[in-house]
Amino acid sequence: MYYFFYKDFRYCEYGDLFKIIKQNETGINECTVANIIKQILSAVSYMHAANIINRDLRLENILVQSKETKTVNQNEVDLYNIRIGDFKCARSFKNSKKLNKKVGNPYYIAPEVLKRRYTEKCDIWSCGIIMYILLCGKPPYCGCSEKEVLEMIERPDFKLEFLGNKKNS
């Protein structure tokens, strides 16, 4: 059914983005993140144009096929060529119909999915979470349990904690 996503399997020697972020716990370079997010959004746009919703975009499902290092503004920058994998939660959708099945990883799930009334735009939420984690090295919603994380996602008063907002000691 989703053959066009699977026809180009290649060995991904660098693993997934989760492995990359574990090696860079404070986040990765903005140029690298911009390159990755551009590729992810391009793939998501392609899926949505084909009326397919992923519903489980996360670092563990984004594979790094290759890497090259380039010099940008006199700095060495890693540029990754990525592939999106694991379409077990994917399904087709109709533009006029809201979906109601709660699926996805708690750290990446959109509030609309928790309310069980969502569209393909929940994939865009997941892209934002991925970008945040890549830049900061940690998810925006953390908790001791899955329940705590989900409660934080549903809260309307959430404040992002960027590295630039930290007080200098």
User: Does residue 56 carry a catalytic annotation?
Assistant: yes
Q: Which token pair is 156?
A: 């309307």
Name, in order, each residue with C-beta under 8 angstroms of 20's C-beta and a sequence gap of 6 or more: 14, 28, 64, 80
**What secondary structure letter does DSSP report for 28?**
-
Give strand pairing partners of 68. 79
Q: Shortest CA distance to 116 belongs to which of 131, 128, 103?
A: 103
Q: Which token pair is 34?
A: 């911009």
Amino acid code (one letter) for 165? N
- Please pick, among 8, 16, 56, 78, the residue that the annotation labels catalytic: 56
**What secondary structure letter does DSSP report for 167?**
P
Task: List, by residue number, the catalytic residues.
Answer: 56
